[in-house]
Amino acid sequence: MKRFADATAGVKSGRTDDDAQTIQGFVGVTTHEEVYRRVREQILFGGIKPGSAVTLRGLADELGVSSMPVREAVRRLIAERALLLQDNRRVMVPPMTREAFDQILFARRALEPELAARALEKLKKADIADLQAIDQSIDIAMRAGDTEGYMRANYRFHFALYRKSESWTLVALVESIWLQFGPFMRTAYGRIGTSTIEDHHEFALAAMAKHDASGLRSAIDADIGQGMGFIGDAVLSRPS
Amino acid sequence: MKRFADATAGVKSGRTDDDAQTIQGFVGVTTHEEVYRRVREQILFGGIKPGSAVTLRGLADELGVSSMPVREAVRRLIAERALLLQDNRRVMVPPMTREAFDQILFARRALEPELAARALEKLKKADIADLQAIDQSIDIAMRAGDTEGYMRANYRFHFALYRKSESWTLVALVESIWLQFGPFMRTAYGRIGTSTIEDHHEFALAAMAKHDASGLRSAIDADIGQGMGFIGDAVLSRPS
DNA sequence: GAGCCCCCATTGTGATCACAAAATTCCAGG
DNA sequence: CCTGGAATTTTGTGATCACAATGGGGGCTC
């Protein structure tokens, strides 16, 4: 374990040392925010398995901080439904159920194509080029079988697009949704691999180039349907 | 082990008094959850004005608890976008902007009619009767000019319906959205009153009775459009 | 009289401690 | 061997303290 150096974490003020791995070294960002980001990434890109327990002291020791910032970060992630507070007051990565899966799928289809269409209105040529570059890194990771790399690049692609809509409220909702199915994406790709993924992003990029809103909507919807169908087949058909 | 009696520890706040306003009296619910609920209600039903500052110690003193549970509750509300963490690291009730308003309106129209349609499939006769009872209390509050009563009943109506959909993920998203425009609803009704509100719930109830999904969607959509238009006119046209 | 700066109060952040409840381990009895 | 309960450990919760940074107010200078 101990993914992040714990070092001698107790020393309070005046940390001017160069211990870059410890969270405390960061400037201008609070500790609980940094803890939040790291745990969030682990959840989003599959560092933590669905159903596994998360303890405050465990995380605190792992990250080399006290339990205070961990508590705030975990509380925040619970509010975003990235973590689940059980009746025991214990915390876990939520297991996937058929019902939750259906709701996530529906919410994605309701929000993401529309968000993409909104983004289209504000897209510049340079933005499309950026997205094409990200799409290429997706292809590379996909062919290399690099599951985590694929997930990260795929996330970057979707949210680079969505953020262009400048609809921050909606983007936040979609981010919350992604947090909820991230672990299953990892599980699914881990089981079946990334080679069978179709690339609907090409169609999306083509629609962007033509400024074709309904085409973009369709492409995003197809991407969601394909990706989620893949996850559903891989995860829900077997005992979790 | 090693527990020297630190006698003052637990007794310090030994509130055995009958101070009913104090939170500590609750059993089985954590303090931070109770704090969360109270602050949430204040935001949702207008106890706090948009733009006003919220301080941890202030809330803690007001509720008679230490700052710990307040911190967790506030952190949770920030994650739900009910409160806004500024760059100063200070917390406030978010001010309304045209952009945020448009996004909230769009998100509501995207999610709530669909949620209502989903609920319709599971609605029983008794549920419709319950909703009719709530609608009557809405009318009563509306005619009495009871702004807070109207808001509470309206909230009850919508979420009693939505929760019947058993789509907990989506309901959570919609609750987050309501938290974001609650304060403005109060401001708007406080300025103009509740007497001019049209009652689209009648149409919604009629559609439910006929099991008419598209009619229900339209009614909810109209209700959102009317209510939000009202808020937009009242709040956005003037300096906040 | 106005602008600037310094001092102090307020506030958020993080660490540590105490305690209760839950989970786990351990051991005796069948 | 298994089972059941007691003891121990783990874990979440809440309170309190220390500290840094921001903000505001009062007094000083020009």
Report the candidate in B155, B153, B166, B159 with the shortest Cα–Cα distance to residue B119.
Answer: B166
Nucleotides of C under 7 A from a protein CB: 10-20, 22-23
B74/B147 same-domain check: no
Residue B70 lies in a domain: yes
- Asked whether residue A102 falls in the same domain as residue A178, the answer is yes
Interchain pair A168, B80: CB under 8 A? no
**Is the model more confident about A142 or about A159?**
A159
User: Residue B233's pLDDT band (boundaries 50, 70, 90)?
Assistant: confident
Q: Which CATH number covers residue A35?
A: 1.10.10.10
Residue B16 lies in a domain: no
Q: What pLDDT score does A238 carry?
A: 58
Evaluate if residue A196 carries a pLDDT over 90: no
Last residue in a domain, options A47, A65, A92: A92
* pLDDT, position A99: 87
For B75-119, the pLDDT digits (tens) are 999 999 999 999 999 999 999 888 889 989 999 999 999 999 999
Predicted local confidence at residue A230, as pLDDT: 87
Total count of domains within chain A: 2
Among B31, B75, B86, which would you mutate to test the A interface (most chain A Cβ atoms within 10 Å of its Cβ)?
A: B75
Domain-embedded: residue A68: yes
**A44 and A147 in a common domain:** no
Question: What's the mean per-residue pLDDT of chain B?
Answer: 86
Q: Tell me whether residue A150 is in a domain.
A: yes
- Which residue has better confidence, B219 or A235? B219
Assign A12 a pLDDT band (cuts: 50, 70, 90). very low
- Please indicate, yes or no, whether residues B77 and B162 belong to a single structural domain of this protein: no
What was the pLDDT predicted at A130? 97
Q: Which of B77, B92, B107 is the last residue of a domain?
A: B92
How many Cβ atoms sit within 10 Å of the Cβ of residue A100? 18
Q: What is the pLDDT of residue B15?
A: 34
- Which residue, B52, B77, B92, sits at the end of a domain? B92
Say if A121 falls within a structural domain: yes
The reply to whether B87 falls in a domain is: yes
Q: How far apart are CA B199 and CA B157, in angstroms?
A: 12
Helix count (H) and strand count (E) of chain B?
A: 10, 3
Do residues A67 and A135 share a domain?
A: no
Residue B5: the pLDDT is 28
| Claim to verify: residue A202 and residue A170 sit in the same structural domain | yes
Q: Which is more confident, B7 or A224?
A: A224
Q: Is the pLDDT of residue A219 over 50?
A: yes
B84 in reach of chain A (CB within 8 A): no
pLDDT tens, position by position, A36-76: 999 999 999 978 899 999 999 999 999 999 999 999 999 99
Place of tokens 């975003």: A80
Interface probe with A: pick from B168, B173, B177, B179, most Cβ of A within 10 Å: B173
Q: Does A88 touch chain B (CB under 8 A)?
A: no
- Residue A128 CB lies within 7 Å of the nucleic strand D: no
Judge whether A32 and A69 are in contact, CB under 8 Å: yes
Amino acid type, B206: A
**CATH number of the domain enclosing B112:** 1.20.120.530
Residue A156 and residue A52 share a domain? no
* Residues B144, B208 share a domain: yes
Q: Are A207 and A227 part of one and the same domain?
A: yes
Residue A13 has pLDDT above 90, yes or no: no
Average pLDDT over residues B6-23: 34
Mind giving me the DSSP string for A166-196? T-HHHHHHHHHHHHHHHHHHHHHHHHH-STT
Residues 10-39 of A with CB under 7 A from strand C: 10, 12, 24, 30-33
Interior/surface letters B194-219, b for 16+ CB within 10 angstroms, e for the rest: beebeebbebbbebbeeeebebbbbb
Residue B148 is assigned to a structural domain of this protein: yes
Predicted local distance difference test score (pLDDT) of residue A15? 33
Q: B26 in contact with A at a CB cutoff of 8 Å? A: no
Residue A173 has pLDDT above 60, yes or no: yes
- Domain shared by B65 and B111, yes or no: no
**Band of residue A194 on the pLDDT scale cut at 50, 70, 90:** confident
What is the span of the domain harbouring residue A48?
23-92
DSSP A199: -
Point out the least confidently predicted range of A194-208, A214-228, B147-161.
A194-208
Residue A57: nearest nucleotide (C-alpha to C1') = D11
The more confident residue out of A98 and B239 is: A98
Residue A223: inside a domain, yes or no? yes
In a shared domain, residues A130 and A53: no
Shared domain for A107 and A223, answered yes or no, is: yes
Residue B125 amino acid letter:
K
